[in-house]
């Protein structure tokens, strides 16, 4: 049974939770278009610790959503996770942020679950899972057009994430549903991170980096 601090900062949602034995104890998160991760993340970590009967020294591990997503958000989240792990001498866990999305609450059964986050213009970060959350296609940056995902036209599909809004505008898939108001959240991480902890699927704290997927391009 592990006490894990979960951090998710890959999108405009800055999210922190503490889970024990896979069950959420406390959650602090805020979604803003201004990306206030630098100002909010450590405050949320402090509030999360204060919200349960533990201290930082009681943590068994820190887990972080590794991306893909916002370059700045990922750097902030991963830096915080690595710093806490290094200071406390505890292991680091990570989870693909699209995989986190796939663990959202579902009101019905689907043949496929396709999480996607907005990557600007008509591009999204996406991955395809079957109903058991086994990966069918790898994580990719995909430019959407009317032919995208047509090979699954006969499947009952859930598109989830802020990228699902543009997918709904472009795609014609009669059996698809679109949950566009869902973002990756630390509240979705507890069970998967407990499993990774028990299997000792730890990252190298010194060398771990965010999963950016695309090269950074600076603008004026």
- Give domain status of residue 218, yes or no: no
Instruction: CATH number of the domain at 141, please.
Output: 3.30.420
* CA dihedral sign of residues 164, 95, 188, 131: positive
Domain around 82: 3-97+184-198
Residue 64's SS3 state is strand
- Give domain status of residue 78, yes or no: yes
Asked whether the bond before 68 is cis by omega within 30 degrees of 0, the reply is yes
Look at the chain and report how many structural domains it folds into: 2
What are the pLDDT tens digits along the chain (220 aa)? 899 999 999 999 999 999 999 999 999 999 998 888 999 999 999 999 999 989 999 999 999 999 999 999 999 999 999 999 999 999 999 999 999 999 998 888 999 999 999 998 889 999 999 999 999 999 999 999 999 999 999 999 999 999 999 999 999 999 999 999 999 999 999 999 999 999 999 999 999 999 998 764 554 5
Sheet holding 13-20, edge to edge: 23-31, 13-20, 3-8, 61-65, 92-95
Instruction: CATH number of the domain at 91, please.
Output: 3.30.420.40
Calculate the alpha carbon distances from 168 to 43, 103, 134, 181 in Å: 36, 20, 24, 12
DSSP state for residue 58 in the 8-state scheme: G
- Give domain status of residue 203, yes or no: no
pLDDT of residue 1: 82
- Give domain status of residue 220, yes or no: no
CA 138 to chain centre: 15
109 & 38 share domain: no
> How many other CB atoms are there within 10 angstroms of residue 165's CB atom?
16
91 & 118 share domain: no
64 & 150 share domain: no
Residue 202's SS3 state is coil
86 & 192 share domain: yes
- Give domain status of residue 7, yes or no: yes
22 & 50 share domain: yes
pLDDT of residue 214: 73
110 & 192 share domain: no
- Give domain status of residue 113, yes or no: yes
- Give domain status of residue 40, yes or no: yes
Helices 71-88, 37-50: crossing angle, 10 deg rounding: 40
146 & 190 share domain: no
- β-pair partners for 123: 143
């Amino acid at each position: 049974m592990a006490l894990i601090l979960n951090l998710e900062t890959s999108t405009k949602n800055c999210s922190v939770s503490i889970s024990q034995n896979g069950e959420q104890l406390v959650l602090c998160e805020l979604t803003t278009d201004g990306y206030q991760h630098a100002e909010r993340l450590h405050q949320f970590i402090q509030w999360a610790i204060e919200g349960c009967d533990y201290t930082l020294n009681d943590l068994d591990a820190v887990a972080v959503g590794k991306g893909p997503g916002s370059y700045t958000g990922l750097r902030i989240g991963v830096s915080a996770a690595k710093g806490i792990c290094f200071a406390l001498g505890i292991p680091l866990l990570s989870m693909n942020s699209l995989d986190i999305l796939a663990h959202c609450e579902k009101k019905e059964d689907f043949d496929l679950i396709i999480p996607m986050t907005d990557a600007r213009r008509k591009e999204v970060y996406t991955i395809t899972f079957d109903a058991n959350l086994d990966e069918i296609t790898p994580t990719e940056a995909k430019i959407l057009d009317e032919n995208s995902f047509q090979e699954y036209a006969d499947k009952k599909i859930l598109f989830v994430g802020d990228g699902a809004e543009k997918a709904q505008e472009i795609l014609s898939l009669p059996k698809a549903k679109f949950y566009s108001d869902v973002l990756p959240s630390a509240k979705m991480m507890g069970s998967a991170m407990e499993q990774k902890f028990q299997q000792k699927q730890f990252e190298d704290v010194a060398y771990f980096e965010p999963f950016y997927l695309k090269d950074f391009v600076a603008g004026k």
